[in-house]
Amino acid sequence: MLARSPVFRWPVAALAAFGFIVLVLPVTILKAAAPLEAAQAILAESGIRGGLVVHVGCGDGKLTAALRADEGFLVHGLDRDEAAVARARRHIRSLGLYGSVAVEQFDGNRLPYTDNLVNLLVIEDPDAVSAEQRDRVLAPEGVAMVRRGDAWEKTVKPRPADIGRWTHYMHGPDNNAVVEDTVVGPPYHLQWVADPVWARSHEHLATITAMVTCGRRVFFIVDEGPTALAALDPDWQLVARDAFSGVLLWKRPVGPWEGHLRGFRSGPTELTRRLVVAEDRLFVTLGYGEPVTAIDPATGETLHVYESTAGALEMLHADGVLYVVTGELENEAEADTARRRGAVPPPRNRRVLAVKADSGRVLWEKSDADTAELMPVTLTVADGAAYFQNPLAIVSLDAATGEPRWQAERPVSVQRPAWSTPTLVAHDGVVISADRQAAPTAREAGRDGIDWIVSSRGGQAPEGEMVAFAADTGQRLWSAACREVYNAPVDVLVVDGLVWSGYLVFAKEPGITAARDLHTGEIVRQRPPDQEFFRVGFSHHRCYRNKATSRYLVLGRSGVELIDVQTGEGLADHWVRGTCQYGVMPANGMIYAPSHSCACYIEAKLNGFNALAPRRSPAADQASQPDESGRPDARHQRGPAFGQPVVAAPQPGPWPTYRGDAARSGTAAMPVATRLRPDWQTELGGPLSAVVVAEGKLLVAQIDLHTIHALDAASGEPQWRFTAGGRVDSPPTVHDGRVLFGSADGWVYCLRADDGQLIWRFRAAPEERRIVAYDQLESAWPVHGSVLVQGGVAYAAAGRSSYIDGGMRLVRLDPATGELLSETVLDDRDPQTGRQPKEIIRGVYMPGHLPDVLSSDGESVFMRHSRFDLEGTEIDQRVPHLFSPAGFLDDTWWHRTYWMYGTEMGVGWGNWTNIGNRLPVGRLLVHDGDTMFGFGRTVYARHGSHVGLPQAILEETWPLEERRPTHYRLFAAPLPSMTAEEATAAARKGRRTGEPPEPGTAHQWTQPLPVWVRAMVLAERTLLLAGPPDVLETDDPAAAWEGRRGGLLRAVDTADGSTLAEYELAAPPVFDGMAVADGRLYLATVDGRVVSWAEQP
């Protein structure tokens, strides 16, 4: 858990004005106060205990730095004065805080943040920021502290009444998954994005198993184990982030948990109900068999442990009382063994307790035949009563005393998948139970308990029945047919007195088309099938429950689809989706989409943990954008070196750009010796990018410090450094004496190579708008560091997706002057409606654009699968090239993607394996135009392709034809002659004829390796590769993967893969972090060093 600083309190006087609370601090507090004391006072008075802090008028940066009281704060300073910004950056860097605290120059008129983002706004000059700007950027419950003379005025932005909280798995204790929120709408703006980039596995237990939100925070339980290796032990954490800025506030370890290798979409359903939040307390079970713990939502500190609830399985909170279901594991040792292999056996002998949340006093307990086989996720509390369902009946108790109220016969199906459980909802005097039909013998069989079938098999959703009972008597009111969702219980969504439930397991089914009167069951509202509004696309619904707001049904058929409950209109956004078994969470005026592991729509879909806001009204959108008319320098700015002489080398550098050339081939135009020794090393601190070498200099980006470093290539001596306004995620490009690079601040920079002076910068982003991305501020339209220069033109792309924030921008610039030559807007929404076009969906394919380091073959420009001509116009993409569907810079080794030489990756559940088995693909590839060298898996299986999975797991969870373990190996193969389309067609034919999916390209050779290759370069007849030692052969695989066990450098003969030389490394290189130039091998390492290796004398 992150450390917290002491809190100081100060007396204030208050008054209310225009719905905002305004407070004035006594003059004596901050008069001549030291920066640390002033920061402590400001934070204490504001009440802000973490999140995004903005300091306007930051000056020398001393107060700015002090405002980062602990690791739960992200701080951003703004100042109009360029010299002040430079001083502030030097000070913050001297403290080792830069990145978590950063400073930028701004125009003094408009705050460069998206709406509702800032938690604390500290303003030195009351005239520097208008009230309109202040209120626009402040998050709900955010605070502005404005200096007025020697006093500070405090303004609190109230929480709007039209946004809602989501405190339980199914919203509240009544299990009605509907939030009173009229702001949530079709996603359009990205509010924030966070780790993990991908869920760990599509074939196993969901990476994020529970999520809730209340007040200013969102909480979730996540497995932070390596994405690259699902076979490694999980690292379960309870995480708190700010709900509006996404800043990481704190985290705590959780465990033991359900076995992370349990088959996907196979339950257990209770995992989602182990996390509940109230205004002042977060309730959680911090491991299997553990009692419920109450935690301070602001700090993560333990407030109370409810020892009486040991073995807690799920819980609800209502009116200051915790209602907890507990159970017993029959054999703890057997449970531990089962956890390692997959699923933990279901607990038995369940009981229900009611516990006072403030004191832990047990109010009542029920532990008898009624509760022993209590059906998971059916405990419900509403209007003074508690309800649950067992195999035979629905049971109602007095919530205050636990005394029985009534029972109503309701037998259940007693042999069922472990994900399948009745849906029980209590609302406005009615209790609704919806479940699959029980067999006629269920009443008798139910006395012997439930036979839970742990299986990942999908689509087993037989016809069911939804029955309504009177909440006060248990009298049966009405019934109707219903059906479960795809590997998820039946939807029962009560919106404004109407019950919505439908048929949407498979794509051909109509969806939720009818709404019934809650009290009579009469159909009172109908709507057309979903297919009239959008193409469903994927063959089946996503593997999670649907939810709703007071305006929309929030479906998960292929992505996120919103159904207007008044008009029936359907709005589809398939470029975003939720995580397996949980789905998405609509709350706080946004849709929270946790990280997924889905290969569908991979050419268009967002990745990461995303918080998505609806589109602002035209008036609000206009008000949020600056008026740049009459300001030619708004996007193009000249630096002090503009128009000054630039000394260029007579020949291009040996490795002047990312991966050596515009094609990103990873190939050097010169040999390198195999008898090497360390020549020099320079410690900069990480994380570092890959390196480039040209004109006598080595250039590398210190990514999170926003800084480009130039070192002397022969000695490693620092030459200069330059700090941009945001992360620089990849190395610059050196061209004609100039250093060009992009930054996450949305700008393209050009520096003079000999001294690092700014020549020009151009804003590729359409406006200055910051969001929080992976715990730093970035533009809504970031630019990758490595700029493409082709034919004397610089190319850069800004943006995150062609479906969000108005799409992406592809700009062409004059490298010498920064003049804009052309700009291509990549927006795949319908230009008239602003929505996702209906006709573009083709099954699991969806066109779109996602950012990447650009590449070129001299005739085209490529961005992942997308292709453009040299004028920036999009053209037919069917020209093979080297790319990664996840992007060149994705270093996670997510199991459903790879690098490839082709035109597109097969997508969906199985098509991605078709390409993998038919073309030479890998984790890293280099080529010389004729031969491809790579490090990749031996086979790609539809059920995972996870390296290192135990054979027992394969035998228990995979179909017979898919029980093929996969490993890594080095290979050489001819460049593919088969296109991606041909590879897919061949693989499909193989499936029809029963032919095994063997590789379609014969390898010239393959070699097993004692190293997992994280960097590779080709230098004529020598292949140089480096990485950690074989992770699965060490006693601490996680440490080896992270680089804490050193690394290996190997030189390999390209003719047959034989070893020419091998050396130990103190630390392995960063991903793709090697370069060859002037007879030297250069590495950027995971421990923050740049190392040069030269030929031994």
Cα 1027 to Cα 701, 923, 1063, 1066, distances in angstroms: 20, 12, 11, 11
3-state secondary structure 909-969: HHHHHHHHHHCCCECEEEECCCEEEEEEECCCCCCCCCECCCHHHHHHHCCHHHCCCECEE
Residue from 471, 564, 553 nearest 174 by CA: 471
- pLDDT-derived band at 633 (thresholds 50, 70, 90) equals confident
The pLDDT, as a whole number, for residue 28 is 43
Average pLDDT over the chain, rounded to whole? Answer: 91
- pLDDT-derived band at 472 (thresholds 50, 70, 90) equals very high
Q: What is the mean pLDDT of residues 190-219?
A: 97
Residue carrying the six token digits 């739960």: 72
Secondary-structure class of domain 13-156 per CATH = alpha beta
Q: What is the mean pLDDT of residues 1052-1058?
A: 97
Q: What is the mean pLDDT of residues 231-239?
A: 95
Cα 452 to Cα 80, 225, 348, 464, 647, distances in angstroms: 65, 28, 12, 18, 74
Q: What is the mean pLDDT of residues 680-692?
A: 98
- pLDDT-derived band at 150 (thresholds 50, 70, 90) equals confident
Angle 1068-1070-1071 (CA atoms, 0-180°, nearest 5)? 115
DSSP label at 279? S
Residue from 658, 651, 696, 655 nearest 672 by CA: 655
Residue from 608, 564, 612 nearest 588 by CA: 612
Quick check: 850 and 801 in contact, CB under 8 A? yes
pLDDT in tens, 403-428: 999 999 999 999 999 999 999 999 99
Q: Rounded to 10 degrees, what is the CA torsion of 554, 556, 557, 562?
A: 20
pLDDT at 705 over 90: yes
Q: What is the mean pLDDT of residues 340-345?
A: 68
Gap between the Cα atoms of 857 and 788, Å rounded: 11
Residue from 271, 246, 57, 23 nearest 152 by CA: 23
Neighbouring C-beta atoms of residue 717, cutoff 10 Å: 11
pLDDT at 958 over 60: no
Q: Which secondary structure element, helix H or strand E, spans residue 41, and what is its range?
A: helix 35-46
The pLDDT, as a whole number, for residue 693 is 98
Gap between the Cα atoms of 725 and 710, Å rounded: 18
Q: What is the mean pLDDT of residues 961-976?
A: 82
Contacts of 89 (CB under 8 A, 6+ apart): 61, 98, 103, 723
pLDDT at 378 over 50: yes
Residue with the bigger pLDDT between 207 and 538: it is 207
CATH architecture of 637-891+1014-1095: 8 Propeller (2.140)
Pair of tokens at residue 40: 């402590």
Please give the model's pTM, rounded to 2 decimal places. 0.95
Could you tell me how far CA 966 lies from the centroid of its own chain?
27
| DSSP states along 994-1029 | T-----SS--SEEE--SB--SEEEEETTEEEEEESB
Q: Which fold has domain 178-620?
A: Methylamine Dehydrogenase; Chain H (2.130.10)
The pLDDT, as a whole number, for residue 222 is 98
Contacts of 665 (CB under 8 A, 6+ apart): 659, 882, 926, 927, 928, 929, 1018
Q: Helix %, strand %, coil % for the chain, to 5? A: 10, 40, 50
Would you say how long the chain is, in residues?
1097
pLDDT at 865 over 80: yes
DSSP label at 705? G
Neighbouring C-beta atoms of residue 712, cutoff 10 Å: 14
pLDDT at 331 over 70: no
Percent of the chain with pLDDT over 70: 90
Could you tell me how far CA 1096 lies from the centroid of its own chain?
45
The pLDDT, as a whole number, for residue 538 is 86
Angle 311-315-316 (CA atoms, 0-180°, nearest 5)? 160
Residue from 765, 738, 770, 766 nearest 754 by CA: 738
Q: Which secondary structure element, helix H or strand E, spans residue 1059, and what is its range?
A: strand 1059-1065
SS3 244: coil
pLDDT at 1091 over 50: yes
pLDDT in tens, 614-628: 998 776 666 566 666
- pLDDT-derived band at 907 (thresholds 50, 70, 90) equals confident
pLDDT in tens, 650-676: 787 899 999 999 999 999 989 999 999
pLDDT in tens, 40-93: 999 999 999 999 999 999 999 999 999 999 999 999 999 999 999 999 999 999
Residue with the bigger pLDDT between 328 and 1002: it is 328
Gap between the Cα atoms of 873 and 160, Å rounded: 44
Gap between the Cα atoms of 123 and 134, Å rounded: 10
Pair of tokens at residue 118: 């800032």
Angle 50-56-60 (CA atoms, 0-180°, nearest 5)? 100
The pLDDT, as a whole number, for residue 460 is 85
The pLDDT, as a whole number, for residue 337 is 59
Could you tell me how far CA 187 lies from the centroid of its own chain?
16
pLDDT at 128 over 80: yes
Gap between the Cα atoms of 364 and 414, Å rounded: 29
Pair of tokens at residue 924: 């890293």
Q: What is the mean pLDDT of residues 870-876?
A: 97
Q: What is the mean pLDDT of residues 257-280?
A: 93
SS3 414: coil
Where do the domains of the chain lie? 13-156, 178-620, 637-891+1014-1095
Quick check: 403 and 151 in contact, CB under 8 A? no
SS3 510: coil
Taking each continuous run of H as one helix and of E as one strand, the counts in the chain are 12, 77
Q: What is the mean pLDDT of residues 506-524?
A: 97
Cα 298 to Cα 43, 172, 219, 683, distances in angstroms: 14, 21, 11, 37
Gap between the Cα atoms of 681 and 1083, Å rounded: 9
Quick check: 474 and 406 in contact, CB under 8 A? yes
Lowest-confidence region among 136-140, 592-596, 630-634: 630-634
Q: Which secondary structure element, helix H or strand E, spans residue 370, and what is its range?
A: helix 369-372
The pLDDT, as a whole number, for residue 315 is 98
Residue 638: strand pairing partners: 760
pLDDT in tens, 92-109: 999 999 999 999 999 988
The pLDDT, as a whole number, for residue 144 is 98
Q: Which secondary structure element, helix H or strand E, spans residue 1091, and what is its range?
A: strand 1089-1095
Gap between the Cα atoms of 713 and 1032, Å rounded: 36
Contacts of 997 (CB under 8 A, 6+ apart): 913, 914, 917, 918, 940, 987, 990, 991
The pLDDT, as a whole number, for residue 2 is 32
pLDDT at 956 over 60: no
Q: What is the mean pLDDT of residues 925-954?
A: 83
The pLDDT, as a whole number, for residue 14 is 32
Gap between the Cα atoms of 818 and 749, Å rounded: 9
Pair of tokens at residue 322: 């915790």
**N-terminal to C-terminal alpha carbon distance within the chain:** 51
Give me the amino acid identity at 656: P
**In terms of DSSP bridges, do strands 770-773 and 187-194 run parallel, antiparallel, or are they unpaired?**
parallel
